Structure 1
Amino acid sequence: MSGTSALAAPRQDAAPRRASWALSPYALPLNALRILAKCALPLILWFSAGRLVRWALLLLAATISHGSWYQARLVVVMFLFTLVVMTSLATTVGMLYVVREALLETQARRAGGEAKESLLNALNRTALVFAGIYTTWGFVKDDVRAFMNMDLLRAPTQLFDDAVKGEHSGVMAGLISLDPKVSLVTMAVAYLAKLYFGRRHEAGNGRFSGIMATFAELAFAFYGLNALAAAVGARSDWIGGRAAVAAWHDFAAKAEASVPGWQEFWGWVGEIWPYVIDALAVPLAWLTVGILVYGAYAEDTQTTIRGTRLEQAAVHLERTHDWTRRALAKLSAGWTARWIPLLNSLRLTARGGAPLFGLFALCYVGLHIGGDYLGRAGDYLLASDTPYFWLVTVEPVGYVKDLVVTAVTMCLVAATFDLAATRSRLEGRAPLTGETSEPDRPSPSS
Structure 2
Amino acid sequence: MPSPYSLPLHTLRLAGKCALPLIFWFAAGQLARFLLLYGATEVAYGDFQQVRLVAVMTLLTFIILTAMTVTTGMLYSLRGAMWEMRARVEEGEAQERFFRVLDRVAPAFAVLYLAWGFQTEDARDVYQMDLFHHFYDQLDAGWFGEESRVGRGLIDLDWRVSLGAMAVMFGLKWLFAKFVEQGKGGLYGFLAAFSEFAFVFYGLNATVFIADARSEWIEHRNVVAGTQEIWAEAQKNVPLWDAVTKFFGDVWPFVLDAVAVPLAWITVAMLVFGSYSDEARTLLKGTRLEKSVDRLEESHDITQKSFDQLTGGFRDRWLPLANSLRMAFKSGAPLFGMMCLCYVVISVTGQYAERGLMTLIGAQEEYAWAFMGPPVTFVRDMIVTVLTMSLLAAAYDIAATRARLNGEPLNDV
TM-score normalised to structure 2 length: 0.90
Q: Which stretches in structure 2 are left out of the alignment for 5+ residues?
A: none
Give the aligned residue type for 1:58: L
- In structure 2, relative to structure 1, the CA distance for the partners of 1:346 and 1:214 (3 Å cut) is closer
Matched, 1:191 2:164: no
Aligned partner of 1:145 in structure 2 is 124
Aligned partner of 2:61 in structure 1 is 82
Residue number among 194, 198, 203 corresponding to 1:215 in the alignment: 194
Matched, 1:201 2:183: no
CA displacement 1:43-87 (0-9 Å, x = unmatched): 000100011001100001111112222111111111111110000
- In structure 2, relative to structure 1, the CA distance for the partners of 1:363 and 1:127 (3 Å cut) is same
Give the aligned residue type for 2:34: W
2:149 aligns to what SS in structure 1?
Answer: coil
1:389 aligns to what SS in structure 2?
Answer: helix
Matched, 1:403 2:388: no
Which structure: larger Rg?
1
Structure 1 residue 139: Cα displacement: 1.2
Matched, 1:109 2:82: no
CA displacement 1:165-204 (0-9 Å, x = unmatched): 3333222211111111111111122112111111111111
Give the aligned residue type for 2:125: A
CA displacement 1:31-52 (0-9 Å, x = unmatched): 0000001000000001000110
Do the aligned partners of 2:130 and 2:151 also contact (CA within 8 Å) in 1?
Answer: yes
Do the aligned partners of 1:54 and 1:84 also contact (CA within 8 Å) in 2?
Answer: yes
TM-score normalised to structure 1 length: 0.84
Matched, 1:376 2:355: yes
- In structure 2, relative to structure 1, the CA distance for the partners of 1:208 and 1:136 (3 Å cut) is same
Structure 1 residue 247: Cα displacement: 5.3
Matched, 1:252 2:231: yes
1:108 aligns to what SS in structure 2?
Answer: helix
Matched, 1:134 2:113: yes
Aligned partner of 2:3 in structure 1 is 24
Residue number among 96, 99, 102 corresponding to 2:75 in the alignment: 96
Distance 2:47 2:233 in 1: 55
Deviates more, 1:390-399 or 1:424-433: 424-433
Do the aligned partners of 2:22 and 2:77 also contact (CA within 8 Å) in 1?
Answer: yes
Do the aligned partners of 2:275 and 2:410 also contact (CA within 8 Å) in 1?
Answer: no
1:118-133 matched pairs, under 5 angstroms: 118-133=97-112
Alignment identity in percent?
44
Do the aligned partners of 1:382 and 1:393 also contact (CA within 8 Å) in 2?
Answer: no
Residue number among 297, 306, 310 corresponding to 2:285 in the alignment: 306
Distance 2:21 2:265 in 1: 20
CA displacement 1:270-309 (0-9 Å, x = unmatched): 1111111101110001101000100052478765443323
Matched, 1:225 2:224: no
Distance 1:239 1:120 in 2: 48
Distance 1:35 1:75 in 2: 42
Distance 2:217 2:307 in 1: 31
- In structure 2, relative to structure 1, the CA distance for the partners of 1:161 and 1:206 (3 Å cut) is same
Do the aligned partners of 1:190 and 1:219 also contact (CA within 8 Å) in 2?
Answer: yes
Distance 1:61 1:87 in 2: 14
Matched, 1:48 2:27: yes
Structure 1 residue 393: Cα displacement: 1.4
2:135 aligns to what SS in structure 1?
Answer: coil
CA displacement 1:128-166 (0-9 Å, x = unmatched): 110111111011112111111111111223223223333
Structure 1 residue 259: Cα displacement: 3.1
Aligned partner of 1:293 in structure 2 is 272
Give the aligned residue type for 1:145: R
Distance 1:263 1:325 in 2: 47
- In structure 2, relative to structure 1, the CA distance for the partners of 1:274 and 1:135 (3 Å cut) is same
Distance 1:103 1:60 in 2: 38
Distance 1:279 1:314 in 2: 35
Distance 2:183 2:408 in 1: 28
1:170-185 matched pairs, under 5 angstroms: 170-185=149-164
1:269-284 matched pairs, under 5 angstroms: 269-284=248-263
- In structure 2, relative to structure 1, the CA distance for the partners of 1:137 and 1:255 (3 Å cut) is same
The CA RMSD over aligned residues, in Å, is: 2.7
Distance 1:248 1:306 in 2: 44
Distance 2:362 2:322 in 1: 45
